Structure 1
Amino acid sequence: MAPQLQLHAVAFISPQNHPILIRLFSSRKQDDLKYHYIAHTSLDIIDERTGPTSKSNECYLGLLYALEDVAVYGYITPLKVKIVLSLGLTDSVVRDADVTMIFRALHMAYFQSLANPFLRLDAPYDTASDHSALLVQGGRRWRGFRQRVDDVGRAIGANIPDSEDED
Structure 2
Amino acid sequence: MAVCVAVIAKENYPLYIKTSNADNELKYSFTVHTSLDVVEEKISSVGKNANDLRELYLGLLYPTEDYKVYGYVTNTKVKFVLVVESSNTSLRDNEIRSV
TM-score class, shorter-chain normalisation, is: 0.7 to 0.9
Question: Following the alignment from structure 1 to structure 2, what is the Cα–Cα distance between the partners of residues 93 and 22?
Answer: 24
Amino acid at match of 1:50: I
1:90 positional shift: 2.2
Gaps of 5+ in 2: none
Question: Following the alignment from structure 1 to structure 2, what is the Cα–Cα distance between the partners of residues 83 and 91?
Answer: 20
Matched, 1:34 2:31: no
Higher helix proportion (structure 1 or 2): 1
What is the TM-score normalised by the length of structure 2?
Answer: 0.86
State the aligned residue count: 95
Higher strand proportion (structure 1 or 2): 2
Distance change >3 Å, CA 91–CA 23, structure 1 → 2: closer
State how 1:97-112 maps to structure 2 within 5 Å.
97-102=94-99
Q: Residue 25 of structure 1 is aligned with which of 14, 20, 28?
A: 20
Could you say which residue in structure 2 is the equivalent of 1:16?
Answer: 11
State how 1:66-85 maps to structure 2 within 5 Å.
66-85=63-82
Q: Which runs of 4+ in 1 moved over 6 A?
A: none
Taking only aligned residues, the RMSD between alpha carbons, in angstroms, comes to 1.6
Please tell me whether Structure 1 or Structure 2 has the larger radius of gyration of its CA atoms.
1
Task: Note the alpha carbon deviations across 1:103-147, whole angstroms, 9 max, x for none.
Answer: xxxxxxxxxxxxxxxxxxxxxxxxxxxxxxxxxxxxxxxxxxxxx
Question: Following the alignment from structure 1 to structure 2, what is the Cα–Cα distance between the partners of residues 15 and 82?
Answer: 7
Q: Greater CA deviation, 84-93 or 67-76? A: 84-93
What is the TM-score normalised by the length of structure 1?
Answer: 0.53
Identity, in percent, stands at: 38
Could you say which residue in structure 2 is the equivalent of 1:94?
Answer: 91
Q: Residue 38 of structure 2 is aligned with which of 16, 24, 45?
A: 45
Q: Which structure has more RCO (C-alpha within 8 Å, separation ≥ 6)? A: 2
1:98 positional shift: 0.5
